[in-house]
Amino acid sequence: MTSMSREQQVSEVFVKVADSLIDDFDVIDFLEELCAHCVSLLDVSAAGILLGNEKSLLHTVAASDENTHLLELFAVQHDQGPCVDCYETGKARANIDLHDLADTGSWPAFAEQARDSGFQTSHVFPLRLRSRAVGAMNLFHTSRQPLSPQDASLAQALADIATIALLQQRDIGQEQLEKSQLQRALSSRIVIEQAKGILAERGNVTPDNAYNALRAYARGRQLRVSDCARQIIDQSLDTDQISLP
């Protein structure tokens, strides 16, 4: 990847953050794109973003692929893993060796699941709101390739961008509204997962392909993915209109 293409990708992310100030900004779609940018910008294999709800319980809100989404669900369900630690402590960790007991001793089940998913290394960064974490961004690599200090700084910046998009800066001082915005993002994710499952089953395609088709349909009509997902669930949208691979 050339330096210019990297700069262009970073610029695109910041332009999207500016778009988050409009009322109909599709935050889930943006976070999915942000995960994809993390993979290409940071030369990692996968990325996932988790968010705490009103009761401080983590939920998966975005991932670069279905495999990573399922791994993050495993972390949430078993309440262990680097993302859980990061959310609780608010501290970033890079170059976690998923084979090293010294790194993974507090969450052996997650480490085993991550290795079974093909990952060797993990890096995690908090979604920061002043002095507390509202979520965590997890990066994975299929080799033991380290993350450079420069890339770690960029990764934290991308995690901060995710926080800004979720909360929208104009409302960042209102704690109750912050909670409402975070909960709205989590609710949208749940609806999208349900619609994705419906499309995957009806079209006999993978969840990744079902989501890509749903997103393409929404973008082609300048609609939010979550709105299209709700229409699929309440059957007001004919799924035959969505082109599945």
Domain boundaries, the chain: 3-170, 189-241
Strand order, beta sheet including 93-97: 58-63, 46-52, 132-141, 121-129, 93-97
Tokens of 63: 């991932």
- Residue 106, φ and ψ in degrees, nearest 5: -85, -10
CATH class of 3-170: alpha beta
- Of residues 1 and 88, more confidently modeled: 88
Length of the chain: 245
pLDDT category of residue 151 using cuts at 50, 70 and 90: very high
pLDDT tens per residue, range 24-73:
678 888 899 899 989 989 999 999 999 998 888 899 999 999 999 999 99
Provide the CATH number for the domain formed by 189-241 in this structure: 1.10.10
